[in-house]
Amino acid sequence: MPRLLVVPRWAGTPRSDFYPWLVEALASAPGRPLDPVIVADLPNPGSPRLDTWPPAIAGLLGDDPAVLRDTFVLGHSVGCQAALHALAALPAGSQIAGMLAVAGWWTVDEPWPAIRPWQNNLPELERVRAAVPRLTVLLSDNDGFTRDHASNAALWRERLGAQIELAPGARHFNSIEAPPVLAALLRLVAA
């Protein structure tokens, strides 16, 4: 059975946002489409760093090719960038089942000093493309961090060939329930 690794947003923990709700929703879904569901408890969540988060994610992913092929990754905001860096570092030839990038971005409208390393250091895009055969990016039309969702979507398509889905009015997906996230994830798993 495929597993899911959820990579939280900046300052996110397994108890933040929609993550507990998603774990419960997947556990009660017919046929339990993803099991287990692991929400990463990353080091210093209020200060995500390129030298700590991707290695922690890589540790959770592991390097067993069979397990990786049955793994879906869901990244949220900066968790998308952290996951992409971890996926780019997988051993050559490794692939996961797919990735859902929720509120994913390449730049934020008003970057602060600690976010700049995430914007200025792209993962190795060719390695990400090789490791992620199916990538869906779920964006909102009123995200306060990336107000121009169309340009953001275009970058995801251009850089990684992503499929884009839009959830009107979902802001930055920080609600305690997120039906658009569950629906997009189930579509990705079923594809």
CATH at residue 116: 3.40.50.1820
Q: 132-164 b/e with 16+ CB inside 10 Å = b? A: bebbbbbbbeebebbeebeebbebbeebbebbb
Q: Tell me what pLDDT residue 103 has.
A: 98
Show the low-confidence residues of the chain (pLDDT under 70): none
Question: Which pTM value belongs to this model?
Answer: 0.97
How many structural domains is the chain composed of? 1
Q: Tell me what pLDDT residue 167 has.
A: 97
Q: Tell me what pLDDT residue 191 has.
A: 87
Domain that holds residue 50: 3-190
Q: pLDDT tens digits, residue range 102-120? A: 999 999 999 999 999 999 9
Q: Tell me what pLDDT residue 18 has.
A: 98
